[in-house]
Amino acid sequence: MSETVVSALAPANDPTFENVWDELVWRGLVHVSTDQEALRALLGGDPITYYCGFDPTAPSLHLGNLVQLLTMRRLQLAGHRPLGLVGGSTGLIGDPRPSAERTLNTKETVGEWVGYLRSQVERFLVFEGESAARIVNNLDWTAPMSAIDFLREIGKHFRVGTMLKKEAVAARLNSDAGISYTEFSYQILQGLDYLELYRQYGCVLQTGGSDQWGNLTSGTDLIHRVEGVSVHAIGTPLITNSDGTKFGKSEGNAIWLDAAMCSPYRMYQFWLNTDDADVIARLKIFTFLTREEIVAYERAVADEPFRREAQKRLALEVTTFVHGEAAARAVIAASEALFGRGDLTTLDADVLRSALEELPNATVPAGTPVVQALVQTGLVASLGEARRAIAQGGVSVDGEKVASEDAVITASLPGDAVVLRRGKKTLAGVFVAADEG
74, part of any domain? yes
pLDDT in tens, 324-334: 999 999 999 99
For residue 365, give the CATH number of its domain.
3.10.290.10
320, part of any domain? no
Last residue of a domain, one of 206, 236, 266: 236
Q: Are 420 and 379 in contact (CB under 8 A)?
A: yes
Name the pairing type of β-strands 81-86 and 134-137: parallel
273, part of any domain? no
pLDDT in tens, the chain (437 residues): 334 444 777 899 999 999 999 999 999 999 999 999 999 999 999 999 999 999 999 999 999 999 999 999 999 999 999 999 999 999 998 877 777 788 889 999 999 999 999 999 999 999 999 999 999 999 999 999 999 999 999 999 999 988 888 888 888 888 877 888 888 999 999 999 999 999 999 999 999 999 999 999 999 999 999 999 999 999 999 988 888 777 776 545 689 999 999 999 999 999 999 999 999 999 999 999 999 999 999 999 999 999 999 999 999 999 999 999 999 999 999 999 988 788 899 999 999 999 999 999 999 999 999 999 999 999 999 999 999 999 999 999 998 999 999 999 998 899 999 999 999 889 999 999 876 54
Tell me the backbone φ, ψ of residue 297, rounded to 5 degrees: -65, -35
pLDDT value for 42: 98
**Secondary structure of the chain in HEC code, one letter for each residue:** CCCCCHHHHCCCCCCCCCCHHHHHHHCCCCCEECCHHHHHHHHCCCCCEEEEEECCCCCCCEHHHHHHHHHHHHHHHCCCEEEEEECCCHHHCCCCCCCCCCCCCCHHHHHHHHHHHHHHHHHHCCCCCCCCCEEEECHHHHCCCCHHHHHHHHHHHCCHHHHHHCHHHHHHHCCCCCCCHHHHCHHHHHHHHHHHHHHHHCEEEEEEEHHHHHHHHHHHHHHHHHHCCCCEEEEECCCECCCCCECCCCCCCCCECCCCCCCHHHHHHHHHCCCHHHHHHHHHHHCCCCHHHHHHHHHHHHHCHHHCHHHHHHHHHHHHHHHCHHHHHHHHHHHHHHCCCCCHHHCCHHHHHHHHHCCCEEEEECCCEHHHHHHHCCCCCCHHHHHHHHHCCCEEECCEECCCCCCECCCCECCCEEEEEECCCEEEEEEEECCCC
Angle between helices 291-303 and 276-286 (to 10 degrees): 170
131, part of any domain? yes
Report how far residue 221's alpha carbon sits from residue 225's, in angstroms, rounded to the nearest whole number: 6
Last residue of a domain, one of 190, 210, 236: 236
Report how far residue 206's alpha carbon sits from residue 49's, in angstroms, rounded to the nearest whole number: 9
225: β partners: none
Query: Which range marks the domain in which residue 425 is found?
Result: 359-433
Last residue of a domain, one of 236, 251, 282: 236
Tell me the backbone φ, ψ of residue 82, rounded to 5 degrees: -90, 145
Domain count of the fold of the chain: 2
12, part of any domain? no
pLDDT value for 1: 35
pLDDT value for 435: 63
234: β partners: 33, 207
293, part of any domain? no
CB count in 10 Å sphere of residue 99: 10
pLDDT value for 242: 81
Q: Do residues 216 and 82 share a domain?
A: yes
Q: Do residues 232 and 363 share a domain?
A: no
pLDDT in tens, 226-285: 999 999 999 999 988 888 777 776 545 689 999 999 999 999 999 999 999 999 999 999
189, part of any domain? yes
**Secondary structure of 385-432 in HEC code, one letter for each residue:** HHHHHHHCCCEEECCEECCCCCCECCCCECCCEEEEEECCCEEEEEEE
16, part of any domain? no
Q: Do residues 363 and 232 share a domain?
A: no
For residue 158, give the CATH number of its domain.
3.40.50.620
pLDDT in tens, 186-231: 999 999 999 999 999 999 999 999 999 999 999 999 999 999 999 9
Report how far residue 312's alpha carbon sits from residue 299's, in angstroms, rounded to the nearest whole number: 15
Name the pairing type of β-strands 232-236 and 395-397: unpaired
